[in-house]
Chain A
Amino acid sequence: MPDPRGHSVMIGLEVHAQLTSLKTKLFCGCSADYRSLPPNTSVCEVCLGLPGSLPRLNGRAVEEVLKIALALHSRPAEKSLFYRKHYFYPDMAKNFQISQYDRGGGVTVAQGGYMDVRVEHGTKRIRVRRVQLEEDVAKIVYPGSLMSSGYVMVDYNRAGVALCEMVTEPDLSSPREARLFIEKYASVLEHLGVTNTSLEGSLRVDANVSIDGGERVELKNINSPKDVERALNYEVQRQAMVVERGGKIEMETRHWDELNKVTVAPRFKEGEEDYRYFPEPDLPPFRVEPELLERLIRSLPELPDQRAERFVRELGLTDYQAQVLVSQKPLADSFEELVHQGISASEAADWTMNEVLGDLAEAGLDVSDLPRLVPGIASLLKSLEREEVTGKMAKHALKQLVATGRLPELSHPIRDRQELAALVEDVLNQNPEVVSKVAADPKVVNYLVGQVMRRTKAKADPQLVLSLIREALERKGAREDKSEGEGAARRTFNLTRRSSRE
């Protein structure tokens, strides 16, 4: 889909996903659960690159990356090996990264593959170029801002954590498509159980962007999937402006500045990026045995597409509903749990998609917070089903559940006809102008309903209130029938005046 300004866009993505399911790093036994630790605590001679240390390959990492390859219909290589990728940077313990390479005889864990993504007008197949395994780098902290600090601080807790790098062909045609792709990929990773994408830094994206068949610009440092569309939008528009002013896009690398929301060229030319790849002598190649592959294929969990299909087929959801639910695993999990607890699929889907998501956002929470709220939601929806609460009350209670984690006391709606009728009378008497308009504009009845609801702190049964109001209006002669015309208006007026005298 061309950019609205009339340019054709090509985007390829390079996605790095941490294999957060692993307990240890890729090449040493340090704990990979580093986020809550003090700096430089989960480190050893290997991930610090101390003289004389040697890497030790984590066998489970190979399995996790193969699962990703299988989910992407990517071809696992029979034999694969590691390469050293050299560049100097303070976050690099050895000033080379142990990674993989797909040229000159190098073989990555898997090659080829694809992922189908729902885009605006149907489904699009995005091709995968390769899937590979590599180690993560340390974290650099700037005391102050990037520009002003006279030094940086480095924490190697993250150095050596296992990453899966997945590279696509430039099949994406818009920033929006790219976002949809990333969201789908994140859901696939979640369903596989290899990455908990709600963890900070667990999913990082680099992109290659070109417009109108021109040179591609490499965009780095998109650290949160949420930023993908924004960063790409900026870059596409930047390139379009350059071209429209008669300029030419040069091949370059830019960084996404998430603070200022712009892409910037690095301050100075770093010189050729010559990675000087060569095979890692300290690690033997690894062969993917057919038995391993079979076992992995057999034990592959249900992936988003299959799950969505099942939702439609077995639970009667619409295609759209199913796609929204499987787009995030905790969402789909919570929905299924609600169904499991006896809530009808349509109710569960409706509430999950239309109310819960919004409430979560409002409370500053995440979809990953949803599963623990499921018991409360189930109980609430059951009350609703039994008509023990009204829809409005339920929505209100839901908001509180999300915000506080506890379901508030659910009182029964007020259904006492006498009590409500008295309130209705009261409201009608206090709003003569509104009452008089009822004939002309039937919708103002809602205002009257609203007034009664306010007085009962939303606890009245709104259906009952509406019918009581209609009855009262009937009695007082004020009809919602426009055809009465002037006579009706006069009668209304008389009605009002009389009631105000009483």
Chain B
Amino acid sequence: MKRRGAFEVAEMVREGKWSARSVVMEALSRIDAVEGSVHAFLHVDREGALRRAEEIDRAVAEGRDPGPLAGVPVAVKDNISVEGMPLTCGSRILEGYVAPYDATVVRRLREAGAIIIGKTNLDEFAMGSSTEYSAYGPTRNPWDLSRIPGGSSGGSGAAVASGEVPLALGSDTGGSVRCPASFTGVYGLKPSYGLVSRYGLVEFSNSIEVVGALASTSRDLSLLFSVIRNSSSPDPLDQTSVFAPLQDIGGIEGMEFGLLIQTLGKGVDPEVESATYRFADEMKDMGGKVEEVSLPEMGLALPAYYLLVCAEASSNLARYDGIRYGMPAPLDARNWNEAFSTVRGKGFGPEVKRRVMMGSFELSSGYYDAYYLRAVAARKLLREKMLSLFRKYQFLISPTNPVLAPALGEKLSDPLSMYLLDLDTVLANLSGIPALSIPFARARGLPVGIQLMAPPLRDDWLTSVASLLELRGKVELAGEVAEVA
């Protein structure tokens, strides 16, 4: 089933050929049709969306520029602050909290005429790779409802894949945009660290996480990305942000691609592996040079990643104590320490508790050097190695996930096995480089995403390659909508 992309919608709305209202109505009707099965959304703002659609239509009628995303419905992961909408982060501890301000990326979407239609499901506080850790129930993979959509931005992936919306925002700390993109057959872009403002993104591991973009076609992806990124100046609200002007790569003749051998072989689904080699062949077909490359330090990546993110999570989640917002702290507790412990014991799910406690342990005196500091050192080493690889290669190739989408419940009994899904994706987060999951193939009825990585701030190179590949008709799932049986 093919769909109407964001690009087309915006064009039609701007030209007055379609009303934004009709676009929103269509999205809402698709949401009504599939949500029962998919559960991508935690909150749908019907009235707000229709009101905004009317404003857009009025602007068009009055000859005012409605913006490059005019009338396009967008879903936002529920760990990004949207004023007037709940912000649960998939957790009970934020039940009842309605955000009083917009994240920078949300503000930019609104200014571009996009219509924020709702908040999507996620693993609690973005900690997970399957969206099964959401306190509000899992999201199901639109291609096979018995399987996970990936995580932590599973809701965003499913919302795009099922045709509910053409565009979605997610967040990517260890693969949380790319993993669901791969499992649900859509594009998932993890931008360079700093290139998209983090203001309004609820912090989990703030030294490496980013806001990411999900879309069904490369043109849509580029459109979304162009609106949310810092193109001409950093965001003053995020003092860790940078900017870079758009930089198209043109063609890829003569470009060098490194195929990471550690991401293939043992433990990798043979279909995934063969899709990766086919992708490499396509690059060669387009004039690129592909070589196998070894990164032995990859074995360091996942342990370093988890040590780092747990430590930062323990700090970033310290603020949830029921005093200022969310689930209330019990006033009849014996003292404030007990009150805090009660709220957090009740409000946090098991994975969050695990990581927060692990993180507190790592940062505590006596263990800081052995654990946290070593994780930071490992990140430094990995970044150096990645950057040195990029002195030779312009791109690195790997599968996005080593396996096809697992069944719901399959990974839940063993936290470590869940962590292993991130094997191929954490590299990009630890080095701060951009990475794109391309919905390249299908295997046994399920999507297979291939990951492309580029040097820091060369995000546009990734979308260029995707666009070229798509133009040749080689991206199997581009523009496809899952039926949702």
Q: State the A residues within 8 Å of B (CB).
A: 45, 48-57, 84, 86, 88-90, 93-96, 104, 150-151, 154, 156, 272, 274, 276-278, 281-284
Contacts and interface: CB of A to CB of B under 8 A. Distances in A.
A50 B100 contact: yes
A104 B325 CA distance: 35
Chain A interface SS verdict (over half)? loop
A277 B373 CA distance: 12
Given A88-B340, A276-B364, A54 B318 contact: no
Contacts of B87: 51-52
B111 to A, nearest CB: 18
A93 B324 contact: yes
Contact of A88 (B99, B239, B318, B331): B318
Interface of B: 79-81, 87, 89, 94, 97, 99-101, 103, 198-203, 206-207, 236-240, 311-312, 314-315, 318-319, 321, 323-325, 331, 336-337, 340, 360, 363-365, 368, 372
Contacts of B311: 278
Given A52-B103, A276-B360, A95 B203 contact: no
Given A52-B81, A88-B337, A276-B315, A45 B324 contact: no
Nearest to A105: B373
A294 to B, nearest CB: 25
Contacts of B79: 51-52
A276 B323 contact: no
Given A94-B318, A278-B372, A54 B238 contact: yes
A104 B366 CA distance: 13
Given A52-B87, A54-B239, A93-B324, 4 more contacts: A51-B325, A52-B81, A95-B318, A281-B206
A282 B201 CA distance: 12
A90 B363 CA distance: 22
B336 A281 contact: no
A55 B100 contact: no
Contacts of A277: 363
B81 to A, nearest CB: 4
Contact of A50 (B101, B318, B321, B364): B101
27 contacts: A45-B101, A50-B324, A51-B87, A51-B202, A52-B79, A52-B200, A52-B203, A54-B198, A54-B238, A54-B240, A56-B239, A84-B315, A86-B318, A88-B318, A88-B321, A88-B336, A89-B336, A93-B324, A95-B319, A104-B368, A150-B331, A151-B331, A274-B364, A274-B365, A276-B364, A277-B363, A278-B315
A283 B315 CA distance: 15
B274 to A, nearest CB: 40
Contacts of A57: 239
Contacts of A278: 311, 315, 363, 368, 372
Contacts of A96: 315, 318
B79 to A, nearest CB: 8
Contacts of B368: 104, 276, 278
Contacts of B364: 274, 276
A51 B97 contact: yes
B207 A281 contact: yes
Nearest to A87: B318
A53 B206 CA distance: 11
A50 B363 contact: no
Contacts of B207: 281
A80 B63 CA distance: 52
A313 B86 CA distance: 69
Contacts of A276: 314-315, 360, 363-365, 368
A165 to B, nearest CB: 21
Nearest to A84: B315
A278 B359 CA distance: 12
B315 A55 contact: no
B234 to A, nearest CB: 11
Chain B interface SS verdict (over half)? loop
Contacts of B312: 281
Contacts of B363: 86, 276-278
Contact of A52 (B199, B321, B340, B372): B199
| Cβ-closest 10 pairs across A and B | A95-B318, A276-B363, A281-B207, A52-B81, A51-B202, A52-B200, A94-B319, A281-B206, A52-B202, A49-B319
A276 B206 CA distance: 17
A54 B315 contact: no
A104 B337 CA distance: 29
Nearest to A267: B335
Nearest to B208: A281
A139 to B, nearest CB: 14
A76 to B, nearest CB: 21
A430 B34 CA distance: 114
- Among A45, A84, A150, A278, find the residue whose CB has the most chain B CB atoms closer than 10 A: A278
- Among B100, B207, B314, B318, find the residue whose CB has the most chain A CB atoms closer than 10 A: B318
Contacts of A95: 318-319, 321
A104 B198 CA distance: 28
Contacts of A45: 100-101
A48 B324 CA distance: 8
A51 B97 CA distance: 10
Contact of B240 (A90, A93, A151, A281): A281
A169 B199 CA distance: 40
Contacts of A89: 336
Contacts of A90: 323, 336
B97 to A, nearest CB: 7
Nearest to A276: B363
A55 B199 CA distance: 9
A332 B416 CA distance: 69
Contacts of A54: 198-199, 237-240
A90 B312 CA distance: 21
Contacts of B101: 45, 50
A154 B239 contact: no
Contacts of A48: 324
A283 B201 contact: no
A351 to B, nearest CB: 53
A86 B315 contact: yes
A284 B193 CA distance: 14
Given A57-B239, A90-B336, A276-B315, A51 B81 contact: yes
Nearest to A89: B336
Contacts of A151: 331
A274 B89 CA distance: 28
A461 to B, nearest CB: 69
A26 B80 CA distance: 25
A154 B322 CA distance: 13
Nearest to B331: A151
B236 A56 contact: yes
A281 B340 CA distance: 25
Contacts of B239: 54-57, 282-284
B402 to A, nearest CB: 29
Given A45-B101, A52-B202, A282 B324 contact: no
Contacts of A150: 331
Contacts of B325: 50-51
Nearest to B365: A274
Contacts of B372: 278
A319 B236 CA distance: 51
